[in-house]
Structure 1
Amino acid sequence: MYVDTITDVCVWSGGQWLDARDVHVADGRVTAVVGARELPRGQRVLAAAGGHLIPGLINTHTHLHQACMRGIGEGEPLLSWLRTVGEETVALTPERAYAAAAAAATEALRSGTTTLVDHMWPNPSAEIHDAVLRALHDSGIRAVLCRGVADRADPSRKWGFDPRLMQQLDSALAHTDELVDATAGSRVSAGLAVPNPRSLTPAGMRQVRMYAEERDLPVSIHLLETVTDDLMCREHTGQGAVEYLEAAGFLWERLLAVHCVELDAAGRAALARHGVGVSYNPLSNMRLGSGIAPVIAMREAGLRVGLGVDGAASNDTQDILEAMRIGAYLQRAAHRRADLLGFAEMLAIAAGGANEVLGLDSRADGVVAGARADLVLHRFERDYACLPVRDPGATLLTCASSRTVDTVLVAGEAVVQDGRSARLSEAFLVDVLSR
């Protein structure tokens, strides 16, 4: 169902809550936010009295295929965990990839994510990529599908990537061109994904950047999730990880650096100097014992920081509301300050902190005319544990969950209705994940 008008809703717009508003939608975008009945209502109405409308949230980092790997490697440190996940990834079939991606995308939508960035592991199988793309289309979510690339092989993954999942860089980039063509005009766009600085040679970095810049594609890279990147880069090149990337010319405004837990002041300055964005993944960093990313210092350095949920093998959910809440609380605990990262700041991070890096519309002002009609309607009465509502923003940050998500619009289409997917049935997802 497509929606023309959302009626009588309390909406987050221009940095404030506006009560009793009608939100008008046409051609996938918000055309007006006005007082109730100030403009004629469309034929396809979403009655929203008592609800609270916010922009759809952006998950800047996940691995969709890991939705069939929940709970694996529990208690293992990063490198050991990576090897465990790697074995499962080598055995991945197109059927399993479809099931995992469909389930992860649907779970993401049900928590209010309207756009996700899938950082795909390198994989030589075109069928795997096709299956993930088909699942994204079927779910209705907006996505940036980042195709994995690497050109340095190492079974240990300390200085390179698993050779069983690699292919020649030229071939991987040629396949990315096919994905660019396949996604043209859809809700999915293409990008590139680099496992970490250790997985690309300097020559590979130059080739990947040139390719991405020629096609105006974003590139996602895991960076300094732990000290391993720095230790290995210094051992093999005599440079730290950020220095290594900068020397190879692999820092620019369309690069999204994921995690950055060990990013020091010099590294923050270098990334900011080149316009690099950052994906903050608090729950994954906690689960794997990686540490706490210096988000406050990153933002003070001028870095554009978005929110990531990470894959279900390290989170182990795709719930962006949980990530938003814990992302704020973790910084408060680290700094021993309760006044850090309130609702407005966390929503800005979660709805648009790294959008420019990814080539997505900015949503810093909330639900406003001209923005994409990627919207989330919360009904706090769906969960008594959210009541009473003293401050809608505080309730969203501290209490809301997928239980309060009533309707999710992507490009004006209600892809979640009454808290359930309007595209894929839960029975289907249970069936395909249980095989």
Structure 2
Amino acid sequence: MNPATITDVTVHTGDRWLPGRDVHLAGGRITAISEHGELPHAGEVLDGHGGHLTPGLVNTHTHLFQAGLRGIGEGLGLLAWLGAVGEEAALLTPERAYATAAAAAAEALRSGTTTLVEHMWPHPSPAVHDAVLRALEDSGVRAVLCRGVADRADPSRRWGYDPRLMQPLEEALAHTDELIAQTRGSRVDIGVAVPNPRCLTPEGMGAVRAYAEERALPVSLHLLETTTDDVLCRDRTGAGAVEYLERAGFLWDRLLAVHCVELDAAGRATLARHGVGVSYNPLSNMRLGSGIAPVPEMLDAGLGVGLGVDGAASNDTQDILEALRIGAYLQRAAHRKADLLGFPEMFAMAAGGANRVLGIEENPDGGVRPGMRADLVLHRFDRDYACLPVRDPGATLLTCAGSRTVAAVLVGGEVLVRDGEHVRLPSHQLAAGLTRSGPGDGRPSGPTTPTGAPASFTTA
């Protein structure tokens, strides 16, 4: 369904809610917003009466293949958890990559994500990447597919990356060019993903930045999720992680730093000076016991901060509305301030806080307006009595709403989710893909250490 008009709906404009509006669509964009019945409309109509219309949200960080790894490594800290997930990544097949990516993308859409940033782990198989790309295209979601790269091998993952998942950097970048060609004109853009500062040599950083800048691509980088980056960078180079990156010239305005739980005041000032963006992933940071990212301090430093859901192996959902709510509550608890990060601030963060860095159409206040892409979410709060009464639609969205209140999700004006169901990918098909047995199906693989992490990985 590609409606020409969403009728008689309450529209979030960024600073207020306007009831009784018709939203007119054409060519994948909003052409006008009028009072109900003021302008004629032709073509299909989506009845918005009683509903609330918002922009779609941007999940700035996920790992789609982890939809097949829910619950893995429960109770393990980051390094041990990475070992368990790494064993599964080594077993990933194209069939499994497609099934998990399709399910994760559909689940993300169901909660109002219309754009996601996929941070792929490095993987040497072009067929795995092609499968993920096919799943994204089949789901219809808008995406930035960041292709994983690394050039420093280390089986322990302490000062480098798992050699089983690596390939020469020039080959990985050449394959990234192939992905760019494949996606031209689609809803999927391409970027580069770096596991952490320890996985690229300084020469590799120079090559990746030059490659990305020449093609105007974003680069996603896990940074300071725990103290490990700082400790190991200081041990090996005499500099903390942020200083190490700055020395190597690997801080610029198309770099997205993911997590930044341990980012101190000096680090915040450095990232802001270089125009780096940040992805805030509250639920995975809680699940892994990593800590609480200093988001208010990041915003005060001038950093652009977007909201991330992270992979389903550390969340364990793709529900961005849950991340929206918990992301606010976590900061309020840490700072003991009930009025910190209310709906306007959190929704603006989720709708566009890091869009500039990612090269995504910007939406600084999270409002619906003429000219913007028709990536939209229609909420019906009366679908769940636990959201009623609605005294303030923004407060309801932040504190009560969830995927159960999402009545429709549109990307480029196309309805992809209606009444909780993806219109292209039936639930039974997605469930079958996730439960099908075979390598990489989430079962424990290989011998483990007493902590539960695979024996080939160091956990301390």
User: What TM bracket, shorter-length normalisation?
Assistant: over 0.9
13-22 vs 329-338, which deviates more?
13-22
**Superposition pairs of residues 320-399 of structure 1, within 5 angstroms:** 320-365=320-365, 366-399=367-400
31-40 vs 252-261, which deviates more?
31-40
**Superposition pairs of residues 12-411 of structure 1, within 5 angstroms:** 12-365=12-365, 366-411=367-412
Distance 2:238 2:97 in 1: 39
Match of 2:452 in 1: none
Misfit runs of 4+, over 4 Å: none
Instruction: Give the TM-score normalised by structure 1.
Output: 0.99
Distance 2:147 2:179 in 1: 9
**What SS does the aligned partner of 1:115 have?**
strand
Distance 1:30 1:145 in 2: 26
Amino acid at match of 2:411: V
Instruction: Say how many residue pairs are matched.
Output: 435
Distance 2:285 2:14 in 1: 32
Amino acid at match of 2:429: F
Distance 2:214 2:263 in 1: 29
Distance 1:282 1:334 in 2: 12
Q: Deviations over 1:18-47 (max 9, x none)?
A: 010011111111111111122111311100
Distance 1:291 1:265 in 2: 16
Distance 2:154 2:402 in 1: 41
Distance 1:421 1:432 in 2: 15
Amino acid at match of 2:29: R
Distance 1:429 1:44 in 2: 28
Amino acid at match of 1:401: G
**What SS does the aligned partner of 1:199 have?**
coil
Distance 2:79 2:128 in 1: 24
Amino acid at match of 2:55: P
Q: Deviations over 1:311-345 (max 9, x none)?
A: 00000000000000000000000000000111111
**What SS does the aligned partner of 2:244 have?**
helix
C-alpha displacement at 1:363, in angstroms? 1.6
Distance 1:54 1:70 in 2: 30
C-alpha displacement at 1:15, in angstroms? 1.5
C-alpha displacement at 1:418, in angstroms? 1.5
Q: Deviations over 1:91-112 (max 9, x none)?
A: 0110000000000000000000
364-373 vs 74-83, which deviates more?
364-373
Distance 2:4 2:246 in 1: 48
Amino acid at match of 2:74: E
Distance 2:26 2:19 in 1: 22
**What SS does the aligned partner of 2:24 have?**
strand
Distance 1:137 1:158 in 2: 35
Find out whether 1:422 has 2:423 as its counterpart: yes
Distance 1:277 1:101 in 2: 25
C-alpha displacement at 1:284, in angstroms? 0.2
Gap runs ≥5 in structure 2: 437-460
C-alpha displacement at 1:364, in angstroms? 2.3
C-alpha displacement at 1:14, in angstroms? 3.7
Match of 2:439 in 1: none
Instruction: Give the TM-score normalised by structure 2.
Output: 0.94
CA-based RMSD of the aligned residues comes to: 0.6
C-alpha displacement at 1:3, in angstroms? 1.5
Distance 1:73 1:133 in 2: 27
Distance 1:301 1:23 in 2: 37
C-alpha displacement at 1:208, in angstroms? 0.1
Q: Deviations over 1:42-68 (max 9, x none)?
A: 311100100000000000000001000
Amino acid at match of 1:384: Y
Amino acid at match of 2:317: T
**What SS does the aligned partner of 1:181 have?**
helix
Amino acid at match of 1:89: A
281-290 vs 27-36, which deviates more?
27-36
Q: Deviations over 1:130-159 (max 9, x none)?
A: 000000001110000000000000111110
